[in-house]
């Protein structure tokens, strides 16, 4: 799969899109601040967790050109580790989420180290195979609770003072985590390192011929992506007070691919919009008899056939063309 949706236009256009980017980022923050007044907070928190998960995944596919098909392993590991830290060790919720991110990142180093030796579909297959191994470990290991998962995870008291069982407190906590993750990704993409990642995505042999050790750059990106996916998983386990096998299945890896593709690969806001679409559909259709997967599959087909750049990608493209 090639990912060339993102591109820096000529200087004039870029200044416009930079302004547009800031404007839409500010809009998103305002929206998320007022949204819980009218919308069920748990839904919004789920949305933010999946948006962050997809944004972390997007760092690889959108900015390095690597399609990981095993990102649920990092999301799920983050969820299990955070849940365990909260329920068994009774740690501070922030520390639980940090531990989830560290666990995701650590697993990311291992998986990434093995997977980046290969390219294209082989890379994807290795990530899938390794994530299936992690799935079976989660199924068998004593601390994950097997089929039951880890249930009744306490949300705890943030810094010992803020009771996260209050919906608004929890919402604020997740919002801060989400904004931190998105900021980190934005910073990475627009950093000297991000510039080299884009160069690798654009023409890997050329980057090598310029003396860049591309494997190292890929591994760093993979690790960061896995850590943020772990953080998203950790936050999710505190929101739902549950870490389960669902978080770590290959279907979850597929879902994050879908979310990112739908929203727009290689765009900052694409994963957020994609998550909004998919999570909304899943939530509102869950009560109906109509199978959600059929509808999501149909949307996926429509996306590939009609708007390959994804929702945000198409909008950006239209804006750039007008400019």
Partner 1 sequence: MPAPDIILQAQGLTKEFLGFIAVKNVNLAVKRGSIHALIGPNGAGKTTVFNLLTKFLTPSSGTIRFDGVDVTNEQPAVVARRGLVRSFQISATFPHLTVLENIRVALQRRAGLATQFWRSDKILRQLDERARELISDFNLDAYTDTPAVDLSYGRKRALEIATTLALEPTMLLLDEPMAGMGHEDIDRVVGLIRKAAVGRTILMVEHNLSVVSNLCDTITVLQRGEIIAEGDYATVSQDPRVREAYMGLEEA
CA distance 219 to 200: 12
- Rule CB under 8 A: is residue 22 a binding residue for partner 1? no
Helix residue ranges per DSSP H, the chain: 11-38, 41-63, 72-87, 93-115, 120-140, 167-189, 192-202, 204-209, 214-240, 250-263, 270-285, 292-306, 310-322
Nearer to partner 1, 10 or 38 (CB): 10
Here's the x/- map for partner 1, 222-261, by CB under 8 A: it reads as --x-------------------------------------
Contact of 131 with 111, CB cutoff 8 Å = yes
Residue from 18, 148, 163, 213 touching partner 1 (CB under 8 A): that is 213
- Rule CB under 8 A: is residue 1 a binding residue for partner 1? no
- Rule CB under 8 A: is residue 8 a binding residue for partner 1? yes
Which one of the spans 31-39, 186-194, 251-259, 292-300 is the region binding partner 1 (CB under 8 A)? 186-194
Residues that bind partner 1 (rule: CB under 8 A) add up to a total of 34
Residue from 11, 37, 287, 305 touching partner 1 (CB under 8 A): that is 11
- Rule CB under 8 A: is residue 118 a binding residue for partner 1? no
Which one of the spans 89-97, 162-170, 217-225, 271-279 is the region binding partner 1 (CB under 8 A)? 217-225
- Rule CB under 8 A: is residue 321 a binding residue for partner 1? no
Contact of 128 with 248, CB cutoff 8 Å = no
- Rule CB under 8 A: is residue 309 a binding residue for partner 1? no
Nearer to partner 1, 6 or 257 (CB): 6
Cβ neighbourhood burial of 124 (10 Å; 0-12, 13-18, 19+): buried
DSSP state letters, 246-307: GGGSHHHHHHHHHHHHHH-TT-SSHHHHHHHHHHHHHHHHTTSSS-HHHHHHHHHHHHHHH-
Contact of 51 with 276, CB cutoff 8 Å = yes
Binding site for partner 1 (CB under 8 A): 4, 6-12, 187-188, 190-196, 198-199, 202-203, 205-214, 217, 220, 224
């Amino acid at each position: 799969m090639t990912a060339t949706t993102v591109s820096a236009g000529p200087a004039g256009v870029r200044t416009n899109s930079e302004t547009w980017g800031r404007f839409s980022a500010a809009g998103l923050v305002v929206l998320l601040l007022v949204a819980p007044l009218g919308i069920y907070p748990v839904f919004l928190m789920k949305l933010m967790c999946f948006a962050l998960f997809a944004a972390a995944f997007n760092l690889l596919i959108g900015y390095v050109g690597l399609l990981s098909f095993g990102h649920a392993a990092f999301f799920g590991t983050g969820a299990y580790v955070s849940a365990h830290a909260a329920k068994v060790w009774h740690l501070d919720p922030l520390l639980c989420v940090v531990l989830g991110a560290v666990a995701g990142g650590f697993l990311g180093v291992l998986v990434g180290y093995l997977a980046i030796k290969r390219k294209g579909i082989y890379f994807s297959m290795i990530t899938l195979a390794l994530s299936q191994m992690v799935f079976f470990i989660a199924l068998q290991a004593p601390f994950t609770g097997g089929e039951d998962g880890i249930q009744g995870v306490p949300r705890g008291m943030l810094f010992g003072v803020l009771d996260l069982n209050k919906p608004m407190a929890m919402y604020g906590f997740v919002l801060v985590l989400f904004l931190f993750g998105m900021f980190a990704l934005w910073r990475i993409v627009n950093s000297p390192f991000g510039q080299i990642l884009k160069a690798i995505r654009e023409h890997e042999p050329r980057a090598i011929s310029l003396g860049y050790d591309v494997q190292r750059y890929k591994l760093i990106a993979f690790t960061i992506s896995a850590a943020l996916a772990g953080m998203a998983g950790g936050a999710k386990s505190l929101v739902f007070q549950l870490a389960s096998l669902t978080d770590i299945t290959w279907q979850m890896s597929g879902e994050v691919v879908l979310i990112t593709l739908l929203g727009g690969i290689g765009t900052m806001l694409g994963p957020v919009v994609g998550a909004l679409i998919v999570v909304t559909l899943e939530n509102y259709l869950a009560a109906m008899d109509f199978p959600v997967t059929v509808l999501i599959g149909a949307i996926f087909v429509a996306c590939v056939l009609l708007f390959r750049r994804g929702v945000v990608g198409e909008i950006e493209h239209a804006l750039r063309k007008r400019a």
